Every structure is written in structure tokens, then in C-alpha cells.
Amino acid sequence: MAAVTSEKVLSVTHWTDRLFSFRVARPASFRFRSGEFVMLGLEVEGKPLLRAYSIASPAWDDGLDFFSIKVEDGPLTSRLQSIQTGDEILLGKKSVGTLVLDALTPGRRLYLLSTGTGIAPFASVTRDPETYERFEQVVLVHACRQVAELEYGRRLVEALKDDPLVGELAADKLVYYPSCTREEFPRRGRITALMDSGQLFDEIGAPPLNPAEDRVMICGSMEMIADCRARVEAAGLKEGANSRPAEFVVEKSFVD
């Protein structure tokens, strides 16, 4: 298992019966860009069982945060959800990913479109000072089925107020836009419906998407990504990559 290291779990938080987060010790040699993902997992029957997880902490953090679903019959998550503080997990030595600022061309407004645990890479991006240096406005959109599933994002945004590096910047530039799809909440509906109706743009005081000013990152289920990608492409935005920056990027790794 030369490609992985064994790292200690520093804390675990269970948000709902479906969602949990955990913090892992960061090796001194581990480097990553905010928004990237890494392979992590457990040793099962003498072999490493690994999946790709977005890193939810910013590149400057001393630890590594992750936000995960719980899948009862998931090969990894069925085991990972039982980890406790002090346990050891396997961590890949190299991070990769497309949800990074380097894959986007300069713009005025950055939309971070997420559902469920798809908010994880944006927990990293919204705590990176470079995000606010590059954009005049950052719109964090997070849609979940249940109100309780929005709590991780709400706590994230609340904590940004006291963040020593981006607190003042986030106060001026970050717009938090939560929505619930299956329970009563001040804002209801899927991200695509909020975009199609124009409600999202009206409520944040912005015009509809346009490639001259807007940049977009998308992270969620495969269906959500496909649906949001269709809207973004219809607005004229082109997909970017690390080697070819453009107007929008999508997550390309998934957890069981």
C-alpha cells in the first residue's frame, strides 16, 4: 500500500442518520488545491478499500475534513460510518480534481451549485482567500431533501464569520442560498427549478447566467450534475479543465 498512508481520525460528527463528517490528521508532505479530492478508505480483509472523497477543508488547513453519506450496503461507507476518534484510516498521497479555480477563466460571479454531500469541495473553496480575490460575488447554492441535511452548510457559513483569513471577505462577497425539496423551508425546490423560474437570480439580484461574467462549479449526484450542466451549457458557458480553463466545471468522482 505504498500509494497510501495511515492517518488518525481526529473527530467525527453525525449530522443525520444519512450524513456524517470527520477530520483526519494531515501528513506534513500532503499538498492539495482547494476543491480537489483524494482517495481514502479502510483496510478490509488485508486489502485497501478506497473511494474518492472531496476534501472539505481549505488548502491552508492543518487537518483534512470530509463529508460523507451513509450507505447501508455500500462497500466502504457501511464501514466508514462507524469510525471513531483515534481510529486509523487510509489516505491517498496525491489529490486531483476539476473543481479548482485554476480550471476557470476570470469572471465576476462564481456560482457553487451543490446537493447533499456535494457541498464538501465548496466548504474548501469558500474558505480559500483566492476565491474572493478572483470574484466579486460567490454564490453558494445547497439543496437537500430534508431540512436537517442543510445543517452542515449552515454551520459552515456561520463559522466563516469568524474565519481569520476570509471572514471579512466572505461577509462582503458570499451569498448563501439553501433550498429544501421535500420538507417545509423558507425556500423550496430543486436547483434546476430555481434556475428555470428565475427565482435564484431574482433573489440574489443578479441577471441570468452569461458567459461574459459568470463562472460555475457543479457537484452532486450524477443526475443533478447532468441537469445543471444542461442549463449552464444552454446559457452559453463552456466546460473547463485544468489544462484548458473555461466558464464551468463539474465533479467527476463519486462515492458509493
- Could you tell me which CATH class the domain 4-96 is placed in? mainly beta
The answer to whether residue 254 scores a pLDDT higher than 90 is no
Pull the grid cell for residue 230. 444542461
Same fold, 4-96 and 101-250: no
pLDDT of residue 252: 82
User: Looking at residues 206-223, what average pLDDT do you find?
Assistant: 97
- For the stretch 40-69, pLDDT in tens is 999 999 999 999 999 999 999 999 999 999
Contact by Cβ (8 Å): 146, 182: yes
Q: Give 253's pLDDT tier (boundaries 50, 70, 90).
A: confident
Q: What 3-state DSSP class applies to 105? A: coil
At 85-141, the pLDDT tens digits run 999 999 999 999 999 999 999 999 999 999 999 999 999 999 999 999 999 999 999
Q: What is the pLDDT of residue 6?
A: 97
What the block records as the C-alpha cell of 1 is 500500500
Q: What is the pLDDT of residues 148-205, one digit of tens each?
A: 999 999 999 999 999 999 999 999 999 999 999 999 999 999 999 999 999 999 999 9
Domain 101-250 fold? Rossmann fold (3.40.50)
b/e burial code for range 205-230 (CB count within 10 A of at least 16 → b): ebeebebeebbbbbbbeeebbebbbe
Three-class SS of residue 187?
coil
Domain boundaries, the chain: 4-96, 101-250
Quick one: what percent of the chain has pLDDT higher than 90? Answer: 96
Q: Write 77-80 long-range contacts (CB < 8 A, 24+).
A: 77/51, 77/255, 77/256, 79/42, 79/44, 79/49, 80/41, 80/42
The whole-angstrom separation of Cα 244 and Cα 18 is 37
Residue 246 identity (one-letter amino acid): A
pLDDT confidence band for 80 (50 / 70 / 90):
very high
Which residue is it, cell 473555461?
Answer: 246
Q: How confident is the model at residue 256 (pLDDT cuts 50, 70, 90)?
A: very low
Q: For residue 100, what are the contacts with CB-CB under 8 A and spacing of at least 6?
A: 33, 34, 35, 36, 242, 249
- Helix or strand (DSSP H, E) at 18: none
